[in-house]
């Protein structure tokens, strides 16, 4: 099930924006492709990033994958729980498995992301 209230990148990140701050994670589909996640390298708080810059790394038993920021801005919070429980991404990718929060620099960049319907087409027709 793909949550309708989020925006998605073609690289399988999701973002939910509230009051100019976006919470970012990877999708159910992405975590299924990766398999059991064993380590997450989180970004630094305060880091200024550009849209589609690699900001984190998720390592699974199969592979290591870069996590890209779907928007430009400043990292304002990271999910410290992932340091001890990286499997939260597998268990709850749209909830407790979020990776970082970003203060948006260019809110209009959200318009370039995919809706839930567009993302579903991407992964089913891929």
Residue 2: inside a domain, yes or no? no
Residue 72: inside a domain, yes or no? yes
pLDDT, tens digit (0-9, with 9 covering 90-100), for 7-60: 999 999 999 999 999 999 999 999 999 999 999 999 999 999 999 999 999 999
| Count of domains forming the chain | 1
- Domain limits at 67? 7-125
CATH code of residue 85 = 2.40.50.100
Residue 82: inside a domain, yes or no? yes
Q: Residue 126 above 80 pLDDT?
A: no
Angle at 15 between CA 63 and CA 69, to 5 degrees: 55
**What CA dihedral angle connects 76, 81, 84 and 86, to 10 degrees?**
-90
| DSSP reduced 3-state for 93 | coil
Position 1 confidence tier, pLDDT thresholds 50, 70, 90: confident
Task: Report yes or no on whether pTM surpasses 0.85.
Answer: yes
Residue 1: inside a domain, yes or no? no
Residue 69: inside a domain, yes or no? yes
Residue 26: inside a domain, yes or no? yes
Residue 105: inside a domain, yes or no? yes
If 0-12 CB within 10 Å is exposed, 13-18 middle and 19+ buried, where does residue 20 land? exposed
């Amino acid at each position: 099930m793909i949550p309708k209230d989020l925006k998605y990148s073609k690289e399988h990140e999701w973002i939910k924006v509230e009051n100019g701050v976006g919470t970012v994670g990877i999708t159910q589909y992405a975590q299924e492709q990766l398999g059991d996640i064993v380590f997450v390298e989180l970004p630094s708080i305060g880091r200024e990033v550009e849209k589609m810059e690699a900001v984190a790394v998720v390592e699974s038993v199969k592979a290591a994958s870069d996590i890209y920021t779907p928007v430009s801005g400043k990292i304002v919070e990271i999910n410290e729980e992932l340091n001890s429980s990286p499997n939260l991404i597998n268990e709850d990718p749209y909830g407790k498995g979020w990776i970082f929060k970003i203060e948006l620099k260019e809110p209009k960049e959200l318009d370039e992301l995919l809706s839930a319907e567009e993302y579903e087409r991407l992964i089913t027709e891929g």
